[in-house]
């Protein structure tokens, strides 16, 4: 049997096994996301169903909201940045991320039938605009007065990247879609009544004060009937007030494990890229599996 360094063997085996499992996970994840994109039909904002939907439209500015990229100072609707510092120690040379961040400002998507406000938090975002450059300032616009980006450091190399969404760009969005106000469809009277009753039970003393007509500290069947009737009337009144409000369409991250993606590219291009990435994950998985099998064979030889 060959003499093998146990520590080196274990480290290499862990690496190859991790490559196999990581490649398999990435392959399945990207393949599933591509299928979600292609299997979900594009909806119009005005007629979109409640739940998981796909929208396509144009980005427009929100009133009284003015954003600028933190590294370039260029006006935009959304930004994401990263600052890396070049490190050199002997033969080791690498870029290390020292600052990063992303805007949490909501986006306004318009498609000709209406508009939808999108909360970008938690989304996988692909922008058409991405700038990358280098310099010798920790912050390319100079030292930040607030101290957020630190101070000027001479003799250092920095690499900056900034991604942005701009007014007028196309936007593909897939996520959880909800509507409030006049366009909200349907009214479940029984569910709304139950919600009002649960709310009233939170203040049981107040509930007794309103409906315990005989003052015995309990609600009998007749008194509960009055509670249910009053709750139904309250629920209907709330629904009428909500329905009179203008429609407000919003999209956010789904509660389930469904993709939440915002991109300047259309679904066909995104799906194609995801399939290529899935193929890369499959190749990594196979290579990792073969390497693991080879290592185990060497160990037993």
Same domain, 118 and 153: yes
Same domain, 173 and 192: no
Same domain, 104 and 240: no
Same domain, 207 and 156: no
pLDDT in the model for residue 75: 95
How do residues 227-273 score in pLDDT, each as one tens digit?
899 998 888 888 777 766 677 899 999 987 888 999 998 777 787 87
**37 falls within a domain:** no
Same domain, 66 and 112: yes
Of 75, 169, 63, 67, give the one whose Cα is nearest residue 125: 169
**291 falls within a domain:** no
Same domain, 91 and 128: yes
Alpha-carbon Rg of the chain, whole angstroms? 28
0.85 surpassed by pTM? no
Which is more confidently placed, 216 or 11?
A: 216
Same domain, 163 and 224: no
As for how many domains the chain has, the answer is 2
**53 falls within a domain:** yes
Q: Does position 146 have pLDDT exceeding 60, yes or no?
A: no
**280 falls within a domain:** no
Same domain, 167 and 103: yes
Same domain, 157 and 203: no
pLDDT in the model for residue 108: 95
Same domain, 235 and 148: no
First to last CA, the chain: 5
Mean pLDDT estimate for the chain? 83
* Whole-Å CA distances, 295 to 5, 12, 106, 290: 12, 8, 51, 9
Same domain, 137 and 54: yes
**216 falls within a domain:** yes
**40 falls within a domain:** no
* Whole-Å CA distances, 95 to 84, 89, 140, 188, 270: 6, 12, 17, 57, 28
pLDDT confidence tier of residue 148, bands split at 50, 70 and 90: very low
Same domain, 167 and 116: yes
How do residues 190-234 score in pLDDT, each as one tens digit?
888 888 888 988 888 888 888 888 888 888 888 888 889 999 888
Query: For residues 299 and 301, what is the distance between their CA atoms, to the nearest angstrom?
Result: 6
Q: Does position 153 have pLDDT exceeding 50, yes or no?
A: no
Which residue range(s) make up the domain with 149? 45-181+248-269
pLDDT in the model for residue 61: 94
Structure tokens belonging to residue 137? 């300032």
Q: Can you tell me the mean pLDDT for 47-64? A: 91
**228 falls within a domain:** yes
Q: Can you tell me the mean pLDDT for 115-119? A: 95
**156 falls within a domain:** yes
β pairing state of 248-252 and 115-118 = parallel
How do residues 277-293 score in pLDDT, each as one tens digit?
788 888 888 888 877 77
pLDDT in the model for residue 152: 45
Q: Which residues of 135-172 are buried (b: 16+ CB within 10 A; e: fewer)?
A: eebbbbeeeeeeeebeeeeeeeebebbbbbbbeebebb
């Amino acid at each position: 049997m060959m003499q093998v360094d146990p520590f080196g063997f274990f480290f290499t085996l862990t690496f190859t096994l991790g490559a196999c499992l990581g490649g398999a996970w990435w392959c399945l994840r990207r393949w599933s996301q591509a299928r979600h994109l292609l299997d979900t039909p594009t909806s119009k904002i005005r007629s979109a169903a409640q739940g998981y939907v796909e929208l396509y439209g144009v980005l427009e500015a929100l009133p009284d909201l003015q954003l600028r990229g933190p590294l370039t100072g260029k006006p935009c609707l959304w930004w994401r940045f990263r600052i890396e510092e070049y490190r050199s120690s002997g033969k080791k040379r690498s870029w290390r991320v020292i600052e990063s961040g992303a805007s949490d400002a909501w986006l306004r998507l318009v498609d000709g039938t209406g508009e939808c406000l999108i909360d970008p938090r938690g989304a996988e975002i692909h922008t058409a605009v991405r700038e990358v450059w280098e310099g010798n300032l920790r912050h390319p616009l100079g030292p930040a007065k607030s101290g957020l980006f630190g101070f000027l450091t001479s003799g250092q190399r920095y690499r900056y990247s900034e991604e942005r969404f701009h007014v007028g760009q196309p936007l593909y969005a897939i996520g959880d879609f909800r509507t409030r106000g006049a366009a909200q469809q349907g009214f479940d009277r029984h569910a709304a009544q139950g919600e009002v009753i649960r709310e009233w039970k939170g203040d049981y003393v107040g509930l007794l004060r309103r409906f315990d007509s005989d003052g015995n500290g309990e609600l009998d069947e007749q008194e509960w009937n009055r509670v249910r009737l009053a709750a139904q009337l309250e629920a209907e009144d709330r629904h009428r007030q909500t329905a009179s409000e203008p429609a407000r369409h919003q999209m956010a991250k789904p509660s389930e494990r469904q993709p939440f993606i915002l991109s300047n590219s259309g679904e066909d291009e995104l799906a194609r890229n995801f399939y290529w990435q899935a193929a890369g994950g499959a190749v990594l998985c196979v290579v990792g599996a073969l390497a693991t099998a080879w290592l185990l064979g060497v160990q037993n030889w």
